[in-house]
Amino acid sequence: MRATLLLKLVVLVLSVIAVIYGISIVLQSNNADKHSNQPPATLNTITPGSKLTSAQPSAPHETEAASSSAPSIGKEPDTKEDTYKVAAKKSVQFLEEGNPAQSQIEMRVAIGMASEQGAPAAQLDVLRNMLMRIEYCKAGPEAMLAWLATSEAALVDTDVCGVVSIDRVRMKIEALVAMGKLQESWDESKNLLACFTKPGSAQMKEALALEQAIRIAGMAGANEQIANLETRLRATVEAGIALKTLQDPQLPLATLGTLAKMRGDCATAIKLYNQALEGFDINQWLREKRVAPWRLQVLALVAMDRVDCLRQVGQIERAKGSASVLSADLATALGEQDPLAMQAADQRDQILYAPMSP
């Protein structure tokens, strides 16, 4: 009995010793891990020509500020010029999407930014011209002309024959025409044409001004002026094509085609119309309506004239095909109830269902 108790006592003592030994091993292991996870002490070292530096980590807000102030690799920081140009691009995008109200807001923001950041006067005038176009598209020519009378629309570029100012005058003339003020628009056109008597940067816009003047002269009954204007326009277009300086060639080429058609030269007119309308599709028609409705009307009528010329020279099948495509494109882009779309549809029906002899 005593032997049994003694044996149990020995086993108990050995168990206690084993437990104590196990606990000590675990404590030593944890202590070692703790020391290994601590960062080693850093030494402040001084090398020749260097400053004393500390390896202490900076405060979180300092690190954040430093990282935010440093430009990201491969990306240039935004410049002042970029900020208002981005707003202007947004404005144009909204206008092309048919949202002139939002386009107006973005353009006003762009003008405000440009003014605050000291943008060049010519650049400010470009933005104001764009705002004037938005006003036209948003509320019509009357609203645009009313806006022109405000102090906000005051000319920045004092050179009335400058490239930017010429654009403004041309848009004003189109608004006058839309309101039926033909004599006033013709007088403005004559003043504008005087800007091209001397060589200069303004001549980049000469073809557009001449094309506009020819249209308005015809509407205002100043037919005696057209021959001289046509000669000037043809020379300007030919020089612009040769030198690759002709801007927006569609309207000048279309007007030359119309003048050729009026003289009965439909073969020449068709060639010019083809050049003027090259590349036009549904998206182009839609864009012209949203951004410059006066241009769309001219080009749509030119496209109809082209169909009529094809009929007159005996190319009936081409006339049918062109009339069908034009009618479908305008109906899709503008809606079937739009006056231009309805006019194109009438022409298509006349050729398809009641063909006329050339």
What are the domain boundaries of the chain?
A: 79-157, 159-247, 249-358
Q: What is the rounded CA–CA span in Å between residue 178 and residue 273? A: 24
Longest dimension (CA), the chain: 146
Over the stretch 241-253, which tens digit does the pLDDT of each residue have?
898 888 889 999 9
Give the model's pLDDT for residue 353.
85
Inter-axis angle of helices 182-193 and 163-178, nearest 10: 160
Q: What percent of the chain has pLDDT over 90?
A: 44
Instruction: Find all residues with CB under 8 Å of 161, minimum gap 6, and list them.
Output: 195, 200, 202
Amino acid at 224: E
CATH-assigned architecture of domain 249-358: Alpha Horseshoe (1.25)
pLDDT score at 67? 35
pTM more than 0.95: no
Mean pLDDT of the 259-282 span = 94
Q: How far is it, in rounded angstroms, from Cα 38 to Cα 58?
A: 18
Residue in the structure block whose two tokens are 């039926």: 180
Q: How far is CA 304 from CA 124, 307, 326, in A?
A: 38, 5, 8
Instruction: DSSP for 88-149, please give it.
Output: HHHHHHHHHTT-HHHHHHHHHHHHHHHHHTT--HHHHHHHHHHHHHHHHHHHHHHHHHHHHT
